[in-house]
Amino acid sequence: MEYVYAAMLLHTTGQEINEGNVTKVLEAAGAEVDNARVKALIAALEDVDIEEAMEKTAVTAAAPAAGAAAPAAEEKPEEEEEEEEDEEEREEEAAAGLGALFG
C-alpha cells in the first residue's frame, strides 16, 4: 500500500511519478523498497488518470455514508435510475482498478 501512497504523494505535489521518485519517497519514509513492485506500479499507472481515480474512489467511499444519512428518495424515472446504475458501475470499476494497486 505504501507504493500507491508514494505515487499519490508525488502526484499531489506535482512531481513526476517514476521509478526514481517513488523509490526516493519510500526510502525517505523508511520502507524497504522492492524494485520489482516499483516497476509494476509505474507500469500499472501508465494509462491511469490518477486525479480522476482518486476522485472516483473518494466518491465511491463516501456514497454509502451519504446514502445512509439521506432520507428516502422519491421514485425516479426508470431511465434516470439506469443512468445512475451505469455511473455507479463505472465508479466501482475505477475503484476496483485503483484498489488492485493496493495489493
Query: pLDDT digit string (tens) for 27-41?
Result: 999 999 999 999 999
Do 58 and 96 sit in the same domain of this protein?
A: yes
Give the number of residues written for the chain.
103
Do 59 and 102 sit in the same domain of this protein?
A: yes
Is residue 20 within 8 A of residue 4, CB to CB? The reply is no
Domains held by the chain: number: 2
Do 36 and 63 sit in the same domain of this protein?
A: no
Do 103 and 53 sit in the same domain of this protein?
A: yes
Instruction: Give the CB-side neighbour count of residue 40, counting CA atoms within 13 A.
Output: 12
Structural domain span for residue 92 = 49-103
Do 62 and 99 sit in the same domain of this protein?
A: yes
Query: pLDDT digit string (tens) for 40-74?
Result: 999 999 888 888 887 887 777 666 655 555 555 55
Give residue 47's pLDDT. Answer: 87
